[in-house]
Amino acid sequence: MADFILDEWLWADLANENGLVRQTETISLLIAVYEICDRMVLVRGSRFEEKTVAFWGHTDTKRRQVARFYCDAFRYNSSKTTPLEFDRLPALPESLANDIASDDH
C-alpha cells in the first residue's frame, strides 16, 4: 500500500480546465487509487484542500458526481485518507527537492 500526496492540479483536471482527456485520466487515477487500496494524505490547510472545497461549488452533474465520489471514497473514509498537519510532513530529500518546483514542495 502506498500513501499519495497529490498536488492541486488534480482539481484543475477534474474541473475540465485542462481538457477532457486530462479529466478522464484523472478520474481514472482516483478510481485506481481507490480500488488498489492505496491511500491519500490530506495535508490540512494546503492549496489542495482549498481547491477541494472550491470544487464542491460546481453544479453540473459530472463534476458533482466526481465531488461525491471523492468525498465518499477518500475525504470521509479514514481507511483511504490520512489527514496530516503541514508541520508534520517529513522533509523532502534534497535530491528530489532540486527536481521539483519549490511551489510544489
Q: Per the domain annotation, does 60 fall within a domain?
A: yes
Q: Which residues make beta-bridge pairs with 85?
A: 44
Cell of 29: 487515477
pLDDT at 15: 94
In a domain, 80, yes or no: yes
Beta carbons of 76 and 34 less than 8 angstroms apart = no
The reply to whether 97 falls in a domain is no
Q: Which residue segment(s) compose the domain that 59 sits in?
A: 3-86
Query: What pLDDT, on a 0 to 100 scale, did the predictor assign at position 70?
Result: 94
Instruction: Report the distance separating Cα 90 and Cα 88, nearest Å.
Output: 6
- Structural domain tally of the chain? 1
pLDDT at residue number 29:
92
Greatest C-alpha distance within the chain: 43
Cβ contact 41:75 at 8 Å = no
Q: Which residues contact 35 (CB under 8 A, 6 or more apart)?
A: none
The reply to whether 91 falls in a domain is no
pLDDT given for residue 2 in this prediction = 85
Per the domain annotation, does 26 fall within a domain? Answer: yes
The total number of residues shown for the chain amounts to 105
Per-residue pLDDT of the chain (105 residues), as tens digits, is: 788 888 889 999 999 999 999 999 999 999 999 998 788 999 998 889 999 999 999 999 999 999 999 999 999 999 999 999 988 888 888 888 888 777 776
